[in-house]
Amino acid sequence: MTTTAPSAGTAPSSTRASHFTLAVLALALGGFAIGTTEFVTMGLLPQIADGVDVSIPSAGHVISAYALGVVVGAPLIAILGARLPRRALLIGLMAAYAAFNLLSAAATGYGVLFVARFLDGLPHGAYFGVASLVAAGLAPPSRRGRAVASVMLGLSVANVVGVPAATWLGQQAGWRAAYAATAALSIATIAMILLFVPSSPGDPGATGRREMLFFRNAQALMTLLAGAVGFGGLFAVYSYIAPTVTEVGGLSESAVPVFTAGFGVGMVAGTWLAGRLAEWSVFRTLIWSGAGSGVVMLVVWAAAPHGWLLLPAVFLVTAVGSVLVINLQLRMMAVSGEAQTLGAAMNHASLNLANALGAWLGGLVIAAGYGYRSPALVGGALSVVGVAVLLWSASLDRASAHSARSRS
């Protein structure tokens, strides 16, 4: 069983950046750009609906289009790009991100916008996967968990700073300006990568056939399943936070941004903590954060009717969830064998499936009449199932190790 951060096996020591902090900052800026454009659509949905002349529910489908792009793009780009030099691949992914954001900004109708958002999702998973591998390769073995967490910190900070700023910009200057701004962030990322991230070779032995062996790797598939199910609880709660705050908690609509900021701050705190815990044990951290997520969901359910008492529970939901995400990424990198690029990217496809699953199940229980508190109970159940999958994974790992010892 892998219980520590992976030994990376990416870039040799000769390619490690002399300015490690600036290199990781460059990679994190890409995460900031991606996080901003992914979530700003939610804040500008009414304006987007008006702009392309559709209803708000119809406009909401462009969010799903982006998530679908992530799920499709993560394995496809990882397989096709595994042999490419990693810095060049990162630059290409961010260039595509800039182009598709500009296409979103220029969309003349709903159909073009839908396609643009799907295309914009394609580089998402591959970028985070490759950036995580590069960061891990640049760091000394004892700091690889922190390096990967630092890359993901860009996504977390986006929810605290980038999304509110881009939402404000979109409200003042039109929703197209928000997408244009994220395109500019993507271009800035390209410049930072060129300046501070050293050249890093791809895997010259990678082939599509070899990468596809990932899908026959039981440990990798169970890690994907643990993420898709266990992380779904966060989205079950997050998707319905506005009516929970106003209709269950009795607070005004002006309180909702405070709670969404609480999610973002919790994400930053959890991402920072995740890197430290990974240096203790990746797998044990997964178990404890999964179990903790289930407990926190019950706290959310209990605190929801009590107004502002819900705020610290919301903070804890994303703090614990972010610890889970970072260590799922590290676990995936460790168990993917030779399919490192595909494994690192597929973690993000898994998390987008979690997004869809959590929101869908939360909507089902609300529609069934159980109220806006009920998604928290759904989230608790998903967390329990996620832990069960991880324990099953550990059991199979032990059985495999015992069998290998017996044969020797």
Confidence at residue 80, expressed as pLDDT on a 0 to 100 scale: 81
Per-residue model confidence (pLDDT) at position 280:
85
pLDDT above 80: residue 74: yes
Of the candidate ranges 11-15, 253-257, 361-365, the one whose mean pLDDT is the lowest: 11-15
Kindly indicate the confidence band of residue 255, based on its pLDDT and cuts at 50, 70 and 90.
Answer: confident
Between 102 and 203, the more confident residue is: 102
SS (H, E, C) 207-270: CHHHHHHHHHCHHHHHHHHHHHHHCHHHHHHHCCHHHHHHHHCCCCHHHHHHHHHHHHHHHHHH
State yes or no: pLDDT of 209 exceeds 80: no
The pLDDT confidence band at residue 9, using thresholds 50, 70 and 90, is: very low
Q: Is it the case that residue 210 has pLDDT exceeding 80?
A: no
For position 244, what pLDDT does the model report?
85
CB-based contact 37:163 (threshold 8 Å): no
% of the chain with per-residue pLDDT over 70: 90
Question: pTM of the prediction?
Answer: 0.73
Q: Which position has the higher pLDDT, 357 or 14?
A: 357
Q: How many CB atoms lie within 10 A of CB 395?
A: 11
394 pLDDT exceeds 90? no
Question: How much is the average pLDDT of 79-90?
Answer: 85
- In the DSSP assignment, the letter for residue 139 is S
pLDDT at 223 > cutoff 60:
yes
The answer to whether residue 13 scores a pLDDT higher than 60 is no
Structural domains present in the chain: 15-206 (1.20.1250.20), 207-403 (1.20.1250.20)
**pLDDT at residue number 75:** 84
Q: With bands split at pLDDT 50, 70 and 90, how would you rate the model's confidence at 406?
A: low
- Note the pLDDT of residue 30: 94
Confidence of residue 204 (pLDDT cuts 50, 70, 90): low
From the number of C-beta atoms within 10 Å of its C-beta (0-12, 13-18, 19+), residue 127 rates as buried
Q: How far is CA 291 from CA 26, 239, 328, 357, 391, in A?
A: 34, 21, 14, 19, 11
The answer to whether the beta carbons of residues 190 and 91 sit under 8 Å apart is yes
- Which range, of 6-20, 138-152, 335-349, averages the lowest pLDDT? 6-20
Q: What share of the chain is helix, strand, coil (3-state, %, to 5)?
A: 85, 0, 15
Give per-residue pLDDT as tens, 109-146.
Answer: 999 999 999 999 999 988 988 898 888 888 777 777 78
Query: Per residue in 269-317, pLDDT tens?
Result: 888 888 788 888 888 999 999 999 999 999 999 999 999 999 999 899 9
Q: How confident is residue 205, by pLDDT bands cut at 50, 70 and 90?
A: low
Least confident range from 129-133, 353-357, 385-389: namely 353-357
Average pLDDT, integer, range 212-232: 84
pLDDT at 208 exceeding the cut of 70: no
How high does pLDDT run on average in the chain?
Answer: 83
pLDDT digits (tens, 9 = 90+) for 144-181: 778 888 888 888 888 888 888 888 888 889 999 999 99
Between 106 and 406, the higher pLDDT residue: 106
Nearest to 303 by CA among 384, 373, 371: 373
Supply 79's token pair. 């397989």
Q: What's the confidence (pLDDT) of residue 91?
A: 95
Q: Taken in order 132, 231, 242, 43, is the CA torsion positive or negative?
A: positive
pLDDT tens-digit readout, 14-60:
344 457 888 989 999 999 999 898 878 877 777 888 898 887 667 77
